[in-house]
Chains A and B, each alone.
Chain A
Amino acid sequence: MRLLAPALVTAAVLLSACGTTETPTTTPTESTGGPVTVTDARGKEVKLDAPATKVVTLEWAETETVASLGVMPVGVADAAGYKTWDASVPLAADVKDVGKRNEPSVDSIVALDPDLVIMAKGRYETLVGQLEKYVPVVVTQASDATRNLDRLREDTKLIAQAIGKAAEGDKLLSELDTALADGKKAVEAKGAAGTPFLMADGWLEGSTVNIRPFGKGSLVSDTAEAVGFKNAWTGEVDPQWGLGATDVEGLTAVTDPKTVLFYSASEDDVFTTGLAQNPVWQRLPFVVSEKVVKLEPGTWTFGGPKSVIHVAEQFVKAATA
């Protein structure tokens, strides 16, 4: 009879759970413009009755882009992480967290009743089909190591169009172009064009150090090259993000004494804590010449136009200081 107790409890729970949560009336969303059709990174035509105003974004770059176009997303994946890693555009305090970027919660997304979900390609293929049955989904390319700046422009235009901010999108992109062009001019004026650089981030666990170089084709690399730098990292990188993996001695592949090291560390700074005493590190050209630049905390190296502008500014500043 020990089985009766759980059965009773279950029954009680079930009975108390009767009722509904829905309010029958649905207020029609006020339309702010005519129907929009965009072709997203999958090559799929996404039709919206009106430009989206209640947007959920599932990756930080998309969050940033939407926010910088003047539309505050109603829900974003890993809001707390965004605040640490991408400081270029602040989020409003009431933006809802919809779970981790690797597994955003469909429940949370839907609870916000959005009219558009923007997500990055490659992160959760199965989710797209599920979400799409109910809410339009726009998939951005997110990264492409063969053409990352152009990719960024396309993604930005795509997002801008979908949320009815095409003009703002163009403005943001021309802001980006101006920043890159001005940066390039400034770098050239200093005679620093062609300065080789190495960009990396890294982490230290136990006494194990991992260094992740941003190879040719990564967004940071394309940005840096646009303002006149030259990527010194030639090791193997992945085709989407343009990232490599190495350890401290792998950095000895960089030999040009003019090389500047840029690194990002919004949390732990392994380059100064973990490596400072290392003899290989101490002999690296950029360490010898003291050309080691830490990007400001909150510089998201996989972000949108604002992040790219922020990265470009810091590179230019380093070259012209």
Chain B
Amino acid sequence: MMRTAVVTAGIVALIAVLSAVHLTQGTASTGVLDVLSAVLGNGDAQTLAVLEGSRVPRLLAALLLGVALGVAGAGMQSVARNPLASPDTLAVNAGAHLAVVAIAAFGLSLPTLPAGAAAFVGGLAASVVVLGLSGGGSTSPRLVLVGSAVMLTLQSATILLLLMFEQETTGLFAWGSGSLTVSDLDATAQMTPVVAVAVAALLVMGRSLDVLALGDDNATVLGLKVRRTRVGAVLLTVALTAAAVTIAGPIGFVGLSAPVITRLLTPFVPGLGRHRLLLPVSGLVGVVIVLGADVLLRAVMGSAAAVRVPTGVMTTILGAVVLIWLARRGRSSGTPRQAPAGRVGVATSSRRLVVTSVVLVVLLVAAPAVGLMLGDRVVLLGDLANWFAGRTGTALTFVLDQRLPRVLAALVAGAALAVAGCGIQSVSRNPLAEPGLLGITAGAGLGAITLITVVPMAGAWHIAGAAGAGAMAAFALVYGLAWRSGLDSDRLVVIGIAMWSAGMALITLLIVTSDPWNTAKALTWMSGSTYGRTLEQVVPTALALALLTPLLWARHRELDLHSLDEDTPRVLGMRVERSRLVILLAAGVLAATAVSAIGVVAFVGLVAPHLARSLVGGRHARVLPVAAALGAVLVSVADTVGRTVIAPAQVPAGLVIALVGTPYFVLVLWRTREMRT
């Protein structure tokens, strides 16, 4: 009891100090002394106005957000019985954000409460989908994987709206990362009762949540209405998250970090194991995180510059660190994972092989041909023939000449990502590993966009080089962090997802500080697009593909062996580490050049190898070329669709892929789950 009081008092004191500092930071000249004298009752009218009109609303918003997200996170982790659950990983943030952005995009300006209600509906729908797909709740990192996939889809839909309504949604880009620049107390005031009631209700449920933690069966035996408790808790936590999103947009990872940090205190404060204490203390820790991030941001960047930077960027980076730490700490999932190849029938009839090859070749020709034909201006095959023969008129030549690099970029990038995915999945023995989910493409994107920021006119080769460096750094980090006397595949992906979030947050940070009036460029870059590609930009990817695919293919036996288990390759005398390094380097370079060609695209490296294995079995001699062809076709089709559906405006290919890839990803998760039981 004593310790509890001491720790709580300590956190409250920390909040008090942070709040005091927070009040002195701002764009007005009102400084420490002014605030101090105002607090002592001698403040001039100006200081009081600044405090009342800007600083205090900001502070109160931060306090409310911290409490709402901290408590929501703690509640979700309890319901899901998973320390990785949070408003972010259950996609609640993303769902609520999509709802709010959709309303803004259609030109509606809703008052706070209806907007909050819309956010609630969006968040609830997302969490229901994620919890449903991941089997309610369990300790597995699967929840994060499903949640991240759903989050990606929702974010893609959000970005799509932002791109289509650029002028209406200028500020939403920054807001999409969570911002505290509130203009008044209205939203905070209206959301405070919601948060207060939800927190109180969760506290009342504290005992039930304690019992729920014992497991469904035990809880039932002890007379708990498990279902009712769970549904009630989910509704309350979603309401808390929706309130937070309504005020400030999705502030990343606070809901994840706060309860995790709180639980870290449990060894010193045993009482924290109980929900009646755990929930409020998580709320307080949430406040520390939000306030701390905001104070730090303003201290480092200066208040005037910090206006542009969403607070959520800081909390996301912080949260990514916590997520990585959690993943490293967690024990391996126990059951050794089956190799991806072992999951599908290996036996494949030669007839099927022939059919598959023929169809693929046809598709490989058809996809780019259709890609060349479709667009704002539909051209026909005869035009294409004329064009090949150099007999088209100026206008048509022009259309086709500029479509060609885009079609080629989509093809080679798709193939490169697919081949990279094969290599990474084999070596990591993880059917969920792929360049995007391992943070590699985000790293490459960060590298490339850093270079573009510093040297706006950088050439294609330099951009590819910077992307490569970024990809390698990200991958080295992910791999190094995931390696703890062996690779646990789920851990690898969770760390990868953390790296991906942090990378995207850093890209946001770079763009809002360097080119604040060009959010569209940023969105396009972050969501993968072939817009404005030139043949020169396709060359690095094409070269990498031409050199590295044969290299990997020549090692197809090594790839097969890697995907079996850790020991067989050694027993057979393979130099495992060296082989692994070569394969991973090749995959990394491929992924990086793909990013430099079309930006950050997720899921291709995952979907293509899976499809390939289901078509031709698990042997890499076959999987590699088939996956490469599938990847090329997939991105090419996505690109064509994106260029055509809302023409003359266009949807980045990466968004189309995410909208299509997520269901597939979830399906893969679903199937791997069935295989296990």
Contacts and interface: CB of A to CB of B under 8 A. Distances in A.
A105 B362 contact: no
A243 B100 CA distance: 28
A20 B28 CA distance: 65
Interface residues on A, range: 35 or more
B567 interface: no
A238 B50 contact: no
Interface stretch (B153-161, B474-482, B516-524): B516-524
Contact of B395 (A111, A246, A280): A111
A250 B304 contact: yes
Contact of A249 (B30, B115, B378): B30
A273 to B, nearest CB: 8
B379 interface: yes
B contact face: mostly helix, strand, loop, or mixed: helix
A226 B218 CA distance: 80
B49 A280 contact: yes
Interface stretch (A127-135, A153-161, A309-317): A127-135
Nearest to A103: B531
Interface string B39-54: 0000001101110111
Given A97-B648, A268-B109, 10 more contacts: A111-B395, A125-B456, A126-B533, A126-B534, A130-B402, A208-B179, A208-B181, A247-B183, A278-B53, A283-B46
Contact of B52 (A17, A81, A101, A279): A279
A280 to B, nearest CB: 3
B167 interface: yes
B249 A105 contact: no
A100 B646 CA distance: 11
B380 A26 contact: no
B223 interface: no
A105 B394 contact: no
Interface stretch (B363-371, B421-429, B662-670): B363-371
Interface in B379-422: 379-383, 386, 392-399, 401-403, 405
9 contacts: A20-B382, A78-B167, A103-B529, A106-B403, A126-B533, A204-B183, A205-B171, A206-B175, A270-B183
B181 A252 contact: no
Contact of A14 (B104, B381, B524): B381
Interface in B233-272: 246-249
Given A113-B395, A252-B50, A102 B521 contact: yes
Nearest to A114: B395
Interface in B90-111: 100, 104, 109
A238 B375 contact: no
B184 A206 contact: no
A43 interface: no
Contact of B380 (A21, A81, A268): A21
Contact of A206 (B45, B247, B308, B401): B247
B26 A249 contact: yes
A99 B649 contact: yes
Interface in A105-162: 105-108, 110-111, 113, 123-127, 129-131, 133-135
Contacts of A247: 26-27, 54, 181, 183, 307
Nearest to A111: B377
